[in-house]
Amino acid sequence: MRHAIAAALIGVALPTAAVASDADAQLRQDNAFQQAEARLAAVSFRLATRAANLCSRKSPSIGIFLRQLSDFSLSDRAEAIRLYGLDRGVGVSAVAPASPAAVSGIEPGDVIVAVNDAPLPDTTQIDRTAASSKLRSFFQSAMQYRPILLRRLRAGTESDAFATPVVGCALDARLAMSKQLNAFASEGQVVIPVRFALFTASDDELAVAVAHEYAHIELGHHAADPKRDGEYRTIRGKAVEEAADRLGLRMAHAAGYDISAAIGLWRRFYGAKGPVPAFLTRHPGLARREAIVREVMAELGAPNAP
Ligand SMILES: [Zn+2]
């Protein structure tokens, strides 16, 4: 399945762009993608729920990432059906630990065939972005009801699971099958390329990066512009980056992550060989970013309990 990509959805997150290459195929073979997706689901859910009081926009979540047939190219769909049963519903690709989905017994590999007795929307005839949006709306509206009833298919047998959504930051994150070594916000979502996820040495580092990108969304640096038909625009600059660093670090700390990890992450990042990537030149220098971490650490004290 050379072009496959996995989709994501936290609370109800969404799929991502497919980039085919030998390296990507290798990554997937090694299960690295699935492992990175499990980490991202865990980190995103923990940030969204435990740092909820730092977010102005909130949404319900049960803590799962999903994949659907439209995430796969036409030539890969037969294999996606064979591997994941995606002709029957949407597949669960990751479940955050201790999330409502985990508590309800939902597991990666389950196929959700109905929610609150309503069948999943048919998204096979529309493109990935539209399909993601439709699926997200479907789940968001289903999650107005508590608990929600999930009918899932596992090993050929259907059974019911009840999950009670929790409200947290409206943090949608997805893992992208991409070799880019940076994280970013796109279309209101935090996008973590799998290469970047693998570059992070710990969940503390991953949390700092996810929270920094989400902070850009929370602070309105990346937002839909009503004057431009809802097209997303991004504001850049060193002051904007400092603000995102500060809020992101506060969020990661609130979620019980050790934010001193940011120093190691950024040192390795800035120390990477080759020319300084363009996105880094928009950010404050390494020394300044380290100073911000130390300031926030002095202000907040020791890490919260994990
Ligand atoms: Zn940034």
Cα 241 to ligand 1 centre (Å): 5
179 in a structural domain: no
**Domain carrying residue 138:** 22-168
173 in a structural domain: no
pLDDT value for 305 = 82
Query: Are 78 and 208 members of one domain?
Result: no
pLDDT value for 22 = 57
227 in a structural domain: yes
Query: Are 33 and 157 members of one domain?
Result: yes
Cα 83 to ligand 1 centre (Å): 37
Share of the chain above pLDDT 70, in %: 86
Cα 193 to ligand 1 centre (Å): 15
Cα 242 to ligand 1 centre (Å): 8
Tell me the residue ranges of DSSP E strands in the chain.
58-61, 64-67, 90-95, 111-115, 118-119, 148-154, 157-163, 166-169, 173-176, 184-186, 189-193, 222-225, 231-234
- Alpha-carbon span 190 to 13, nearest angstrom: 10
Query: Are 205 and 163 members of one domain?
Result: no
Number of domains making up the chain: 2
181 in a structural domain: no
104 in a structural domain: yes
pLDDT value for 46 = 98
Cα 171 to ligand 1 centre (Å): 16
Mark the ranges of the chain whose per-residue pLDDT is less than 70.
1-30, 272-282
pLDDT value for 302 = 83
**Which helix H or strand E contains 32, and what residues bound it?**
helix 32-50
Which of 122, 152, 168 marks a domain boundary?
Answer: 168
We report the CATH number of the domain holding residue 132 as 2.30.42.10
pLDDT value for 15 = 43
Vertex 190: Cα angle to 144 and 108 (nearest 5): 65
- Alpha-carbon span 242 to 292, nearest angstrom: 8
pLDDT value for 132 = 86
116 in a structural domain: yes
Cα 209 to ligand 1 centre (Å): 9
71 in a structural domain: yes
Query: Are 77 and 210 members of one domain?
Result: no
Cα 238 to ligand 1 centre (Å): 9
Cα 305 to ligand 1 centre (Å): 27
Cα 131 to ligand 1 centre (Å): 28
